[in-house]
Copies of this chain bind each other. A is one copy, B any other.
Amino acid sequence: MAGQRALSVSRGNFPEWYQAVVREADMAEPSPVRGCMIIKPWGWGIWERIQAVLDRRIKETGHENAYFPLLIPLSFIAKEAEHVEGFAKEMAVVTHHRLKKGSDGKLAPDPEARLEEPYIIRPTSETIIGDSFSRWIKSHRDLPLLINQWANVMRWEMRTRLFLRTTEFLWQEGHTAHATEAEALKETMLALEIYRSTAEDDLAMPVIAGEKPANERFPGAVSTFSIEAMMQDGKALQAGTSHYLGDHFARAQNIRYQNEAGELVYCHTTSWGVSTRMIGGLVMTHGDDDGLRLPPVVAPQQVAIVPMLRDKPEDAALLEYGEQLVKQLRAKTAFGEPVRALLDTKNIRSAEKRWNWVRRGAPLIVEIGPRDMANGQVTFMQRDTLRDGDKVKSLSMARDVFVDGVPALLAEIQANLFAEARQRLNSNIRTDIKTFDALADYFGAGGGEDEATEFKGWVRAAWSRPEGAELEAIDERLKKLKLTLRNVPLGQSKSQGTCIFTGKKAVEDVLIARAY
């Protein structure tokens, strides 16, 4: 396989490459249900790891998990005007609660079991959770109320892509209520920081955190913040959002508390979420032409061990050698947890197993044969730096030295992947584009899918923070170039110069990019 790659398509054809990785790494596949995916064990294992690390961060910051109904009464969703406007067009509606055989012998919804009020499958849970908040919160002593939910949600999407945009997806949604705007804003930023650290420290995916422009706000929010990651085709992926909802939802749902002076006051609420979309970001950040490369923190298995079995009696001893190795590895600690190691005993050829683990992106892939066993050693590949030129790099090491070194090796792989992605992000944000014409020139006239294959990166430009009709007009102009405003990065020093769109005095920088 030297010279050849483990995938039949390279990143040069990015959309096809993405599909190939997801398929060949056995992560997910389309389902017979329109726009919904089947998450296969390896993909699910990654989601379990993301859940574990993110859940820990959410709990460490004082939030508690709870669970609310899948269905939302139609009247609830209608309560917040902008909110329903934003979601009405993509809602799955439950209208009946029973099936019945018709005169043609076919099953159909039973007309006598029509619901008086239809239900919506939650596209997000502000309204159903807000209803609980209005009952749970009475006094300032009940605040802040810090709730998180892990759940499936559904938005009827017309164009779907595995992990990136699916009709059903899995996520966590934080919902909190606070006494004051200041506290709610602090919470909004705390959630954003949780997402930044999850993305960067756990997924090794560098991001830029910032505020979304008004036209990209969550329906019903006062302000929306996001983390944006740069994919290997130069597009941006919004990987998590955090919303300050003001008292909009509190007013719509009567979420009030009695303050210390005895007055009834509306709460300030927030919501924030990240989803299975993160997995798509992982693929497009770290994948290479051999498949996925997983940061060890979120790899379901960190060390995959392939025994070179030959259907001979000696196999038993080799399996025993492998099992001992697994046991030794699991006794080691990496990133504060036992090392995750697996002996692959599947009944297929060793070479096929090796390449399966390469495509799946296991950080360390160990091969053990009779000679390794005889010499008390292991042979292994490091997935982040798999090749030297075209040639696969294979290393040999005494077994005990390897076992002792695995935690450091995993930490190195985690750091390597992050550094590589960070380098890509840092060196691909143009800051020298000052006019809309220059912007249009840089990104080309747009149109067609072809331009996706040419890496363009992002543009960071000064702007005057327009709103309303002025912003909408800009959005339209950008759309023609297939561009969007991503966010206004946090922590800026005062901007210089004039707005790239309006020519007015600029107040800050905004990121412009093609996006998923």
Contact = CB atoms under 8 A, between A and B. Distances in A.
Interface of A: 31-33, 36-41, 44-45, 47-48, 64-74, 76-78, 84, 88-101, 106-109, 118-121, 128, 131-132, 141, 147, 151-152, 154, 156, 168, 170, 347-348
Contact of A41 (B64, B96, B348): B64
Given A92-B97, A99-B91, A348-B141, A154 B70 contact: yes
Contacts of A109: 93, 95, 118
B65 A48 contact: yes
Given A74-B99, A132-B38, A65 B90 contact: no
B72 A33 contact: yes
B99 A88 contact: yes
A99 B97 CA distance: 19
B100 A88 contact: yes
Contact of A36 (B70, B120, B152, B154): B70
Indicate how many identical chains form the complex: 2
B88 A65 contact: no
B95 A91 contact: no
Contacts of A93: 94-99, 109
17 contacts: A31-B68, A32-B73, A33-B128, A36-B69, A39-B66, A44-B66, A45-B65, A70-B70, A74-B99, A74-B108, A88-B98, A88-B100, A89-B98, A90-B97, A91-B98, A93-B98, A109-B118
Nearest to A98: B89
A156 B119 CA distance: 13
A93 B38 CA distance: 21
A298 to B, nearest CB: 15
Given A41-B64, A45-B65, A84-B107, A152 B94 contact: no
Nearest to A156: B97
Contact of A70 (B65, B76, B98, B168): B168
Question: Which residue, A40, A65, A71, A118, has most C-beta atoms of chain B within 10 A?
Answer: A71
Most buried by B among A99, A106, A156: A99
Nearest to A48: B65
Nearest to A101: B88
A71 B31 CA distance: 10
B41 A65 contact: yes
Contacts of A128: 31-33
Nearest to A71: B33
Contacts of A89: 98-99
A167 to B, nearest CB: 8
A462 to B, nearest CB: 40
A152 B372 CA distance: 47
Contacts of A131: 32
A131 B76 CA distance: 36
